[in-house]
Structure 1
Amino acid sequence: MSHGSLKWKPGSAVPYAALCKTFELIDATTKRLQILAYLTTFLKQVIERSPDDLVACIYLCLNRIGPEYEGKELGIGESILIKAVAQATGLSAQSIKQDVAEQGDLGTVAQARRGHQKTMFPPPPLTVASVLKTLREIANITGQSSQALKINKINKLLVACKDNEPKYLIRSLEGKLRIGLAEQSILQALAHAGALADPKVEKMGEEKRAAVLSEAAATLKHVYNELPNYDEIIPAMLTHGIPALPLHCKLRPGVPLKPMLAHPTKSLLDVLNRFENVEFTCEYKYDGERAQIHLIESGDVMVYSRNSENLSVKYPDIVEALPQVFKQGTKSFVLDCEAVAWDREKQCILPFQVLSTRKRKDVQAADVQVQVCVFAFDLLYLNGKPLTGETLQTRRALLIEHFIEVPGVFALAKHMESKDVEEIQTFLDEAVVGNCEGLMVKTLTTTSTYEPSKRSRNWLKVKKDYLAGLGDTFDLCVIGAYVGRGKRTGVYGAFLLACYDEEREEWQSICKIGTGFTESDLTTLHATLTPHIIPSPRSYYRYTDSPNLTPDVWFAPHAVWEVKAADLSVSPVHHAAVGLVDRNKGVSLRFPRFVRVREDKKAEEATNAGQVGCENVVGFCFVCFVEEAGGVEFEQ
């Protein structure tokens, strides 16, 4: 890698050109180690020359404008960007649209058309800090003339762009860099850059240096999982060093951490085999919405979703009821819970579909039609002390000690300890009768710490729907639809679904689905999907262009659906997890069936390619090769 083009004077602002040059180098390779090396080199230079700009560099690498949990988004549609590019280049919007249709990427079009409009006085070069500042200003623009104001600010940035800057600026505004730069890679590069900034580390032998870098990455990732806020972590890292980060950046109420997740299992015997010599506990798996409830010492209450969205406005009834569920002396905490729909008259749990009818915004407690009961199953922080490093047995004991069950409002997750398969089966049956999904089985003492953001094998889920079948449902993104015929005339008759590949930043087709829908479902889905229609597939959609599979209508990645299937197959026509199971083939779902819309998930939180590949490898003793285009199946 040639570093000359990336250099700038120490103490000066980081040029946006240096970041874009790094993006270009990353985009030109698919090798993970090479991507890591390019980004580490750039971030190390930022630390050495312009440390005050390091936070801004990280946010632009992540394509965010602030902490994820703050929920700040640019809110810029493709039409606004096309108008801005048209104004900056002096071309018509129609001409830009035509170019996008041909090239498939507005960023590439903006770069190719750069310089069509001459300026009398060339603006100063863009800096990373100035670009992030303007993006934040755009995000804050609201009101009647907001579109014109946003276009004006975007136009000023575009006019100041040079070389490849328009390409990456437009992609940042679109919300996707599409260079294969995942957050885990960014965290690792940041850790490596922070460690290598110490001259002593640079001089170490290769083996010792590798060990230091590995430890730095593990430390930084652990800290970020508990306190996902770069505005706090990066200054602390620069001041105290990475080894001391856990002392200065800890889990605290008000900053949601990514929840720990469970692995699916297909039978209770699998559970007993996995936890043969380990003490474990079984809990009801409630069918609701994951809710992380925070109480700050000031008395403020926040409710966050599994993807760190602030749900306090959706659940004002939870916020109002909270003071009655904790005992005196409890000043601050973080609870991991499930909010479920609750029938106050019959005193029982209602299906998730009932909960999904609740409004998400501008909800008044007095107007709530669907009541909820909160079932708490873990305590992550209490009275100034993080508890994630404690055993589940300790966390549960503190949960029982400090909280009060209030019928129909707040309860502790029902649990039992046994190694008798018949007792566990009875407990599972009771859970299902009580309108729960099944059981969560967790280690209780040994290896039972809470691991944020990790899908751990110390937590297993046993759902009623798949005890003898496919290991889990899939959360998939809708990227296309097929026009309905016969009884489905006037709505979409079938849909093309995709999983998300985080490494490649692309959507990979996994199945065509047309079952599991009621007539009412199809009418509703047609109405909710239509606003997300796009004229052509995104450049980062991976699918087979054939008469049988190419949709009549394409959608921007937005809607996530939960889908069940009978089996998984290696497929010559679908691209999910391509290369993970077979070098040239992907994985597809056999006999997929729609279950429900996942309103609690963003598109990028759909089932990822790695999960699809893992399920296919470990879940089956044979593989079906399906020639889906011709409808012929072969078994190996």
Structure 2
Amino acid sequence: MDLPRIAPMLATPGRLPPAPVDERWAYEVKYDGQRAVVCLPGDGTVRLRSRSGADISAAYPDLAPLGAALGNTAAVLDGEIVAFDDSGRSDFERLQSRMGLAGTPAKAARMARTVPAHLVLFDVLFLGADPLMPLPYTERRAALESLGLTGTHWSTPAFIAGHGERALEATRAAGLEGLIAKRLDSGYEPGVRSRAWIKIRHVRTADVVVGGWLPGHGRLSDLPGALLLGERQDGELRHIGNVGTGWSDRERHALAGLLHAAASADCPFTPPPAVPGARWVLPRLVGEVAYATRTRAGLLRQPSWHRLRPDLTPDDLG
């Protein structure tokens, strides 16, 4: 049957719901992967669409057998495509080797053998000819779980109702990214970033040495658009990424004064990073950044400037 194209509902970044209403919320593990709306027409095929609506089915041939999992029952599902590391955690860096291969099916097939994809399912939007989006979360989840979609390359992880603090602590202890809180009575809002879904990430912080900067654009050309960050490793300053968000205009101007005063003709990083247009500084400024995770190469993912640390020197960081 013909199935509608549906934009996924999006979560709003935030904090755990207050304790008095905790029991009105469901909590799911937050996975770090590629969002996918899954169309199963009931003819044995499967079509995967990204958040933008692009057809990414050919990039994931290992998920093609899902098309026959429901027989001739048509469905539209919502989920996240992930690649697991050796500890069973979703690893976005591993998944990146699978993304963007929809136009090269031969390469996608080769990569599927070395980096298998897994589809985490967490909602059902259509089942047969019936739209389920107006139904509350609890009824949609019951319908999803009744499908029994568990296999080598896909699963329907459990959720818990209430106990948000305990769930958040459990994901922190397990080294997971965080939680998605979903209001039990909420309908599915296609394409909407809704307060009925809240994503709560565990925030990691690091003390870093500033080794350079990139100018901003236009009227900000004399101010930092991004800082080049480093950590001391084996007596050398290693580049661990760049940060370009998190500061106020006042902080940006204060940082500009410090950077100009510390200007240097020499790159302080070993090895020098390939960052065209970088301006180097003496590695004497220490700051604190928040970030989501690190890549296997040690680079910070999604860093955000938190504050300058005038109480620390690079020698304090080892």
Normalised-by-shorter TM-score class? 0.5 to 0.7
Determine which of 506, 512, 527 is the counterpart of 2:226. Answer: 512
Partner of 1:314: 59
Residue pair 1:497, 1:513 contacting (<8 A) in 2 also: no
Residue pair 2:42, 2:71 contacting (<8 A) in 1 also: no
Q: Distance in 2 between matches of 1:497 and 1:334?
A: 44
Superposed, 1:77-476 pairs within 5 Å as 253=3, 255=5, 257-266=6-15, 268=16, 271-272=17-18, 276=21, 279-319=24-64, 321-323=65-67, 326-329=69-72, 331-343=73-85, 348-358=88-98, 360-361=100-101, 362=104, 363-368=107-112, 369-406=114-151, 408-418=152-162, 423-445=163-185, 448-465=186-203
Q: Which deviates more from structure 2 when the two are superposed, residues 510-519 or residues 363-372?
A: 510-519
Relative to structure 1, is the Cα distance of residues 402 and 359 closer, same or farther in structure 2, using a 3 angstrom cutoff? closer
TM superposition shift of 1:377: 0.8
Partner of 1:114: none
Residue pair 1:297, 1:332 contacting (<8 A) in 2 also: yes
Q: Distance in 1 between matches of 2:175 and 2:8?
A: 23
Residue pair 2:31, 2:80 contacting (<8 A) in 1 also: yes
SS in 2 for 1:349: coil
Relative to structure 1, is the Cα distance of residues 573 and 432 closer, same or farther in structure 2, using a 3 angstrom cutoff? closer
Q: Distance in 2 between matches of 1:280 and 1:291?
A: 23
Could you report, residue by residue, the CA deviation over 1:433-458 in whole angstroms, capped at 9, with x for unpaired residues?
Answer: 4443111111112xx00111211111
Residue pair 2:43, 2:67 contacting (<8 A) in 1 also: no
Partner of 2:248: 569
SS in 1 for 2:198: strand
Could you report, residue by residue, the CA deviation over 1:313-355 in whole angstroms, capped at 9, with x for unpaired residues?
Answer: 2111112x3146x3445x2111111111125xx5712421121
Q: Which structure 2 segments of 5+ residues have no match? A: 206-210, 218-222, 232-236, 254-286, 295-306, 309-318
Residue pair 1:253, 1:294 contacting (<8 A) in 2 also: yes
Relative to structure 1, is the Cα distance of residues 394 and 350 closer, same or farther in structure 2, using a 3 angstrom cutoff? closer
Residue pair 1:440, 1:460 contacting (<8 A) in 2 also: yes
Q: Quick check: which one's helix share is greater?
A: 1
Residue pair 1:392, 1:444 contacting (<8 A) in 2 also: yes
TM superposition shift of 1:302: 1.2
SS in 1 for 2:83: strand
Q: Distance in 1 between matches of 2:115 and 2:80?
A: 15
Residue pair 2:11, 2:199 contacting (<8 A) in 1 also: yes
Could you report, residue by residue, the CA deviation over 1:252-292 in whole angstroms, capped at 9, with x for unpaired residues?
Answer: 6362x2221112224x3xx125x728721111111111111
Residue pair 1:262, 1:459 contacting (<8 A) in 2 also: yes
Relative to structure 1, is the Cα distance of residues 284 and 497 closer, same or farther in structure 2, using a 3 angstrom cutoff? farther
Q: Distance in 2 between matches of 1:348 and 1:297?
A: 31
Relative to structure 1, is the Cα distance of residues 441 and 405 closer, same or farther in structure 2, using a 3 angstrom cutoff? same
Q: Distance in 1 between matches of 2:79 and 2:200?
A: 18
TM superposition shift of 1:564: 8.8
Residue pair 2:181, 2:198 contacting (<8 A) in 1 also: yes
> Rg bigger for which structure?
1
Relative to structure 1, is the Cα distance of residues 278 and 414 closer, same or farther in structure 2, using a 3 angstrom cutoff? closer
Superposed, 1:611-622 pairs within 5 Å as none
Q: Distance in 2 between matches of 1:516 and 1:414?
A: 40
Q: Distance in 2 between matches of 1:411 and 1:497?
A: 45
SS in 1 for 2:143: helix
Q: Distance in 1 between matches of 2:194 and 2:224?
A: 25
Residue pair 2:98, 2:108 contacting (<8 A) in 1 also: no
Question: What letter corresponds to residue 258 of structure 1 in structure 2?
Answer: A
Question: What letter corresponds to residue 514 of structure 1 in structure 2?
Answer: L
TM-score by length of 2: 0.63
Q: Distance in 1 between matches of 2:11 and 2:110?
A: 36
Q: Distance in 2 between matches of 1:307 and 1:516?
A: 34
Question: What letter corresponds to residue 444 of structure 1 in structure 2?
Answer: L
Residue pair 1:564, 1:592 contacting (<8 A) in 2 also: no
